[in-house]
C-alpha cells in the first residue's frame, strides 16, 4: 500500500522549528550522561557501586522500552494522530523529571531510592517523547531531498545541544548550584520541544499497524535491509561513544597536555561538523543515502587513523576537525536511510511502522555504549594502565592510540561492508 501524501510544514520556519527538538534531546541526554553520575557520587557522596548498578539497569530498561513504546505508538489511534499526543502530553513532564534529577532530598537514606525512581521516570518519559519525535521524521518528509535538508537542520541544532549539555554545566553549577542548573536546562528543553511540536504535522490517514509485538519484531528483524543498516549503525554508534571517552586519556597520556585541552579537541570535532551537515545534506540529495553513507564512513574512518601517529597538539586539533567532517555525514544520513527502510516496509506490510523501526534501532545501537565500556576496560587493563601510577609504561600510550584510532577504524571498515550490502528492495 502506498503512503497517503501529507503536506510538509508550509514554511522553512516550521521545518527548523520541528528540527529544534533535537537541540532539547541532545542537551538533556548529554548533561545526563556526562554529569549525573559525577553529581550523585562525587558531590552528594552516593556509593559508586550502587550508582553503577543503577546505571546498568538504566541501560537494560532503556533497551527494552524502545521497541515496546515504538510498538505502542504504531498501534495508537486518536483524532490527534499516533505520535503527536505522546509528545504533547509528555514533553513538560519530561522536563520536570529532568529538573528533579538535580534536586534530590537532603536525607542520605533517601538519596539512592530517589536516584532509582527518577532515573526510571526519566527513561520512560525520554524514550516516549524522543521516539515519537523521531518517528515523525519519515512521515513528515517523504522525498530524499527534503529528508536530507531537514536532517541537516536537526543535526546542526543537535550539535549545539550537545555543546551546551557538555560545556555549559560547569559554568552554571559553580555559580548558581546544581538544582538551578537542572531547572534552567529543563526550561530550555521544554521551550525547544514545544517549538518542535508547533512545527510538527502528522498524517491522519497513515495506516495503523495491527501486528502483535512478537509479529512486529519478527517482521522487523526479518527485513534484511534493516539488519544490514542496524549492524552498520551499531558499529558507527560504538565509535561515537568510544571517541569522546578516549579523548581525555589521549590528551593526558599521549599528548601530555592539561585537561582543558580536551575541550579544544571536542570543540574541533563539533565546530567542523556544524557547517558540514549541510554539505552532506546536498551530497545525499544528489547521490542518494547509500552512496552518501559509504562516502561518510570512508571519510570518518580515514580521518581517525592519524590519531595513531600524531604527537603535536596542532596536528591533533587538525585531526579532530577532519573527524568532525565525516561524523557530520553519518549524523545526517542514518535517519534518512532508516526512513527509506520504513517506506519499503509499508509496501510489504501495508502499515506505517516508524515506531517499531526506531525502537528496534534504539534497542540494538544502545549496546554500542556497553561495547565501548568493555573495549576501554580491556585496552587499559592489558596495556598496563594504572590510575595509581604517576608515570605510565609506553604500552599505555600505544593502547590509547589503538583505542582512539585503530579500533574505531576497524569497526568502521566493518560498517562500510554492512552499508555496502544495504540495498532497497
Q: Which CATH superfamily is domain 209-425 in?
A: MFS general substrate transporter like domains (1.20.1250.20)
Helix (H, G, I), strand (E, B) or coil at 422: coil
User: What is the dihedral angle through the alpha carbons of 259, 165, 272, 239, rounded to the nearest 10 degrees?
Assistant: 80
Between CA 63 and CA 60 the distance in angstroms is 5
Please compute the mean of the pLDDT values over residues 294-322 and round it to a whole number. 93
Question: What is the domain partition of the chain in residue ranges?
Answer: 7-206, 209-425
Assess whether the region 7-206 and the region 209-425 belong to the same CATH fold: yes
Q: According to the model, what pLDDT value does residue 206 have?
A: 66
Please state the CATH superfamily assignment of the domain spanning residues 7-206 in this structure.
MFS general substrate transporter like domains (1.20.1250.20)
Rounded distance between C-alpha atoms, residue 38 and residue 51, angstroms: 10
Residue 336: partners with Cβ closer than 8 Å, 6 or more residues away? 144, 147, 148, 151, 284, 289, 292
Do residues 209 and 82 make contact, with C-beta atoms less than 8 angstroms apart?
Answer: no
Model confidence, pTM: 0.85
At residue 205, the pLDDT reads 67
Quick check: 379 pLDDT over 60?
Answer: yes
Using 50, 70 and 90 to split pLDDT, how confident is the model at 387? low
**Please, which residues have CB within 8 angstroms of residue 115's CB and are 6 or more apart in sequence?**
40, 46, 51, 54, 104
Set of cell numbers at residue 316:
591533533
Percent of the chain with pLDDT over 70: 95
Q: Looking at 85-94, 191-200, 382-391, which range is the least confident one?
A: 382-391
Amino acid at each position: 500500500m502506498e503512503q497517503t501524501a501529507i503536506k510538509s510544514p508550509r514554511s522553512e520556519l516550521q521545518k527548523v522549528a520541528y528540527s529544534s527538538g533535537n537541540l532539547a534531546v541532545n542537551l538533556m541526554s548529554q548533561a545526563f550522561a556526562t554529569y549525573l553520575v559525577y553529581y550523585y557520587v562525587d558531590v552528594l557522596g552516593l556509593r559508586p557501586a550502587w550508582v553503577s548498578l543503577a546505571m546498568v539497569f538504566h541501560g537494560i530498561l532503556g533497551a527494552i522500552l524502545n521497541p515496546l513504546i515504538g510498538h505502542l505508538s504504531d498501534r495508537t489511534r486518536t483524532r490527534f494522530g499516533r505520535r503527536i499526543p505522546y509528545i504533547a502530553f509528555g514533553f513538560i513532564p519530561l522536563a520536570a523529571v529532568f529538573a528533579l534529577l538535580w534536586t534530590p532530598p537532603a536525607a542520605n537514606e533517601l538519596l539512592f531510592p530517589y536516584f532509582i525512581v527518577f532515573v526510571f521516570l526519566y527513561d520512560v518519559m525520554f524514550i516516549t517523547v524522543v521516539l515519537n519525535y523521531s518517528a515523525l521524521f519519515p512521515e513528515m518528509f517523504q522525498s530524499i531531498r527534503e529528508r536530507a535538508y531537514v536532517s541537516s537542520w536537526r543535526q546542526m541544532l543537535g550539535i549545539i545541544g550537545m555543546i551546551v549539555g557538555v560545556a555549559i554545566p560547569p559554568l552554571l553549577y559553580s555559580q548558581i548550584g546544581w538544582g538551578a542548573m537542572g531547572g534552567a536546562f529543563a526550561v530550555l528543553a521544554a521551550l525547544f520541544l514545544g517549538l518542535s511540536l508547533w512545527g510538527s504535522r502528522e498524517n491522519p490517514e497513515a495506516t495503523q499497524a495491527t501486528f502483535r509485538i512478537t509479529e512486529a519484531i519478527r517482521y522487523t528483524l526479518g527485513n534484511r535491509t534493516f539488519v544490514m543498516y542496524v549492524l552498520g549503525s551499531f558499529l558507527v554508534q560504538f565509535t561515537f561513544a568510544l571517541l569522546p571517552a578516549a579523548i581525555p586519556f589521549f590528551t593526558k597520556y599521549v599528548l601530555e597536555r592539561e585537561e582543558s585541552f580536551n575541550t579544544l579537541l571536542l570543540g574541533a570535532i563539533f565546530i567542523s561538523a556544524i557547517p558540514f551537515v549541510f554539505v552532506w545534506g546536498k551530497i545525499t540529495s544528489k547521490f542518494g543515502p547509500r552512496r552518501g553513507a559509504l562516502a561518510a564512513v570512508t571519510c570518518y574512518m580515514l580521518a581517525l587513523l592519524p590519531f595513531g601517529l600524531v604527537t603535536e597538539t596542532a596536528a591533533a586539533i587538525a585531526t579532530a576537525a577532519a573527524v568532525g567532517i565525516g561524523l557530520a555525514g553519518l549524523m545526517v544520513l542514518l535517519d534518512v536511510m532508516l526512513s527509506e527502510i520504513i517506506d519499503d516496509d509499508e509496501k510489504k506490510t501495508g502499515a506505517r511502522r516508524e515506531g517499531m523501526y526506531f525502537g528496534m534501532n534504539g534497542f540494538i545501537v544502545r549496546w554500542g555504549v556497553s561495547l565501548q565500556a568493555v573495549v576501554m576496560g580491556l585496552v587499559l587493563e592489558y596495556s598496563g594502565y594504572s590510575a595509581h601510577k604517576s608515570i605510565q609504561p609506553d604500552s599505555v600510550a600505544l593502547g590509547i592510540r589503538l583505542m582512539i584510532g585503530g579500533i574505531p577504524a576497524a569497526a568502521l571498515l566493518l560498517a562500510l561492508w554492512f552499508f555496502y550490502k544495504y540495498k532497497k528492495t
